[in-house]
Amino acid sequence: MSVPARAGLAALLVAAATVASAQAFPAKPIRIIIPFAPGGATDVVFRMMGPRLTEQFGQPMVIENRPGGSTVIGMEQVARAAPDGYTLGVANLTFGLNPSLLPKLPYNTERDFAPVSLTAIVPLVLTVHPSLPVRSVKELIALARAKPGALNYASSGIASATHMASALFAHQAGIRMVHVPFTGGGPALTSALGGHVEVYVGSVPALVPHLKARKLIALGITTATRDPAIPEVPTIAEAGLPGYESREW
pLDDT per residue as tens digits for the range 71-109: 899 999 988 888 787 888 888 878 888 888 888 999 988
pTM of the model: 0.71
Range(s) of the chain covered by CATH 3.40.190.150 = 2-115
pLDDT, one tens digit per residue, over 101-136 is: 888 999 988 888 766 677 778 889 999 999 999 999
Percent of the chain with pLDDT over 90: 55
More confident of the two residues 4 and 132: 132
The average confidence (pLDDT) of the chain is 86
The DSSP code for 216 is S
Give residue 2's pLDDT.
Answer: 38
Range(s) of the chain covered by CATH 3.40.190.10 = 124-239
Q: Are 111 and 7 in contact (CB under 8 A)?
A: no
More confident of the two residues 39 and 171: 171
Give residue 116's pLDDT.
Answer: 67
In angstroms, rounded to a whole number, what is the distance separating the alpha carbons of residues 155 and 133? 21
Give residue 147's pLDDT.
Answer: 97
Give residue 114's pLDDT.
Answer: 66
pLDDT of residue 16 exceeding 70: no
Q: If you count them, how many residues does the chain have?
A: 249
Give residue 82's pLDDT.
Answer: 83
Q: Are 65 and 50 in contact (CB under 8 A)?
A: no
pLDDT, one tens digit per residue, over 22-68 is: 457 789 999 999 988 887 777 878 888 889 989 988 999 999 999 88
What DSSP assignment string belongs to 6-49? Answer: TTSHHHHHHHHHHSTTTT-S--S-EEEEESS-TTSHHHHHHHHH
Q: Give, to the nearest 10 degrees, the angle between helix 137-146 and helix 161-173.
A: 70
Nearest to 2 by CA among 70, 71, 54, 48: 71
Give residue 97's pLDDT.
Answer: 82
CATH architecture, domain 124-239: 3-Layer(aba) Sandwich (3.40)
Nearest to 239 by CA among 224, 225, 211, 219: 219
pLDDT of residue 18 exceeding 80: no
From the number of C-beta atoms within 10 Å of its C-beta (0-12, 13-18, 19+), residue 188 rates as buried
From the number of C-beta atoms within 10 Å of its C-beta (0-12, 13-18, 19+), residue 73 rates as middle
pLDDT of residue 13 exceeding 70: no
- Count CB-CB contacts under 10 A for residue 161: 29
CATH number of 2-115: 3.40.190.150
In angstroms, rounded to a whole number, what is the distance separating the alpha carbons of residues 18 and 14? 6
